[in-house]
Structure 1
Amino acid sequence: MDNSKRAVVVTGFGPFGEHTVNASWVAVQELKKLGLGTDVDLHVHEVPVEYQQVQSLVPSLWKQYHPLLVVHVGVSGMATTVTLEKCGRNHGYKGLDNSSFCPDSQCCVVGGPDCINSIIDMESVCKRVNASGLGVAVSVSRDAGRYLCDFTYYTSLYLSHGRSAFIHVPPLGKPYSKEDLGRALQAVIQEMLELMDQAEGKIHCQQHFH
């Protein structure tokens, strides 16, 4: 592995319910073709729509790649824009997954905080991408839906102390093509990395004065 490169992990979900082809995984595969520039090592993973799989897979991604950022992508049948989720929530998981399971506790981490925010300023990412003339609308949400998307996001936020992001995409063709969604993911994640670099820069500047 090239250590001068920064690792970024992006996940999409496998099929579930009426989503026999999951737009999130299709979009992530399109992103993989485009890449995130020469200084980023991009790793993509498909996540099964199962709570227990998420609980073992998400920590293993952090361990394996020590990524700067993990971005989870999911599909939402209600979304008409590419939607940036600000936070993950711990409680209220009653929906059964692909193996007809849901956690007894109905929460992600017993005793964890109710809600964890991403360290990334999603409003800022949203404004910048919308101003860039990408041709794909981006919006921000505070509710990732209390299913596998939200569950995965919270789990990742909890493990990474907020260094995770979640992006909801609409189903394919409603209205965007897989190429559109791939370009949108690329633009959004590049903005996220840019903001993280700026924040990092500020921290270094402050350290020099102490």
Structure 2
Amino acid sequence: MEKPRRAVVVTGFGPFGEHAVNASWIAVQELEKLGLRDDVDLHVYEVPVEYQTVQRLIPALWKKHSPQLVVHVGVSGMATTVTLEKCGHNVGYKGLDNCRFCPGSQCCVEGGPECIDSIIDMDTVCKRVSALGLDVTVTISKDAGRYLCDFTYYTSLYQSRGRSAFVHVPPLGKPYTAEQLGRALQAIIEEMLDVLEHSEDKINCQHEH
């Protein structure tokens, strides 16, 4: 039986602050060149660093593609590794975006849970990618930083009931090249799809008995 085609959406961010070139979008474009496995349709988007655009765009992407998984990629000036974020946070958004705006309530979803975890087991993904012997170090984090990265992640997790992931990359050359980041994203997303499919097989088996 041929596997049904699946959509995967991957986003990177546009420029902001001192990041005139945003490593996350460069890395996503490298990933697009490499592609994912054969049964996956990859759709990439550059997201502007604007709260209100994110709130409109994320639901629109889910509606348009009905993806199996959405992976958001962002840059962190403090990161020296490729970092898998476990969860998104609802409250504490005080930083102004590129439009000099921040949410009046300082939260993503009024009345939403404080924290939403991805349904993907990031520890497993991290272990598997680390075992591949790529020239990139992968680590785990529970704090995506309460700016547009965290805001986007929470919005997406809320929308998708946890079928989203977030990956932080360091700025280009600190220490990784665009190619290295693209290859790391490819490996990470393929492992995420694998972990997701296995957890779904388990759920389906339980339903059948």
Q: How does 1:187-198 map to 2 (within 5 A)?
A: 187-198=187-198
Q: Map residues 63-142 of structure 1 onto 2, 5 A cutoff.
A: 63-142=63-142
Deviation of 1:208 after TM superposition, in Å, equals 2.4
* Counterpart-to-counterpart distance in 2, 1:174 and 1:87: 25
Give the secondary structure class of the aligned counterpart of 2:140.
Answer: strand
CA distance in 2, matches of 1:4, 1:133: 30
Residue identity opposite 2:149 in structure 1: C
Counterpart for residue 41 of structure 1:
41
CA distance in 2, matches of 1:200, 1:114: 26
Percent of aligned pairs sharing the same letter: 74
Superimposed CA distance per residue, residues 155-210 of structure 1 (whole angstroms, 9 cap, x where no aligned partner): 0000100000000000000000000000000000000000011111112222222x
User: Could you tell me how far apart the structure 1 residues matched to 2:191 and 2:130 are?
Assistant: 11
Q: TM-score, normalised by structure 2?
A: 0.98
Aligned-partner Cα distance in 1 for 2:107–2:208: 42
CA drift of 1:135 comes to: 1.2
- The one-letter amino acid paired with 2:17 is G
RMSD of the alignment, in Å?
0.9
Shift of 1:112: 0.3
Instruction: Report the alpha carbon displacement of residue 76 of structure 1 after superposing the two structures with TM.
Output: 0.1
| Structure 2 stretches lacking a partner, 5+ long | none
> 2:179 — aligned with what?
179
Q: TM-score normalised to the size of structure 1? A: 0.97
User: Segments of 4+ in structure 1 off by > 2 A?
Assistant: none
Letter in 2 for 1:175: P
DSSP 3-state at the match of 2:33: helix
Q: Secondary structure at the match of 1:38?
A: coil
Report what 1:156 is aligned to: 156
Residue 19 in 1 paired to residue 22 in 2? no
Q: Which blocks of at least 5 consecutive residues in structure 1 are unaligned?
A: none
Equivalent residue for 1:29? 29
In the alignment, which residue of structure 1 is the partner of 2:6? 6
1:58 aligns with 2:58: yes
Residue-by-residue CA offset, 1:89-123 (whole Å, 9 max, x unaligned): 00000000001000000000000000000000001
- Aligned residue-pair number: 207
